[in-house]
Amino acid sequence: MTTILPSPDLESDARVKAVFDDIRATRGTDFINNMWRWLAFDPAVLERTWLEVKDVIGKPSSIDPLTKEMIYIAVSVANNCTYCIHSHTAAARAKGMTGEQYGELLAIIGLAGKTNQLATALQVPVDAAFDASQPGG
């Protein structure tokens, strides 16, 4: 259940229309997903979020687009964000993620969650070799 409802005429606001037009141009589609429609309740939040997404996810970098989407899925699972799990799984599939890769990703997410919980429960001290502030780390 939502906490707000988007305006029926979101693009009557020039700032919202400009962001939506940029999303359409950047993604090569007329589809504006619900995340952007809901963020449009506050044009400043919409603008900032879209600019950050374009900069971090959309800009070519040393991490390939599929890996970025798979990382986004893992973080979304950890944060229990159903919307982001669905949208970034669809994006990863569109970028070529196979069923086998998805299975491996879920196995990694599950294992990381388990070992994180064990390390937290046991309060395992960090090895000096893993601590960048320590000699040899």
Tens digits of residue pLDDT in 32-86: 999 999 999 999 999 999 999 999 999 999 999 999 999 999 999 999 999 999 9
pLDDT in tens, 111-125: 999 999 999 999 999
Phi and psi at residue 43, to the nearest 5°: -55, -35
- Angle (nearest 5°) at CA 121 between 118 and 123: 100
Give the pLDDT of residue 134.
83
- pTM given for the model: 0.90
Alpha-carbon span 56 to 99, nearest angstrom: 26
Residue 70 exposed, middle or buried by CB count within 10 Å (0-12, 13-18, 19+): buried
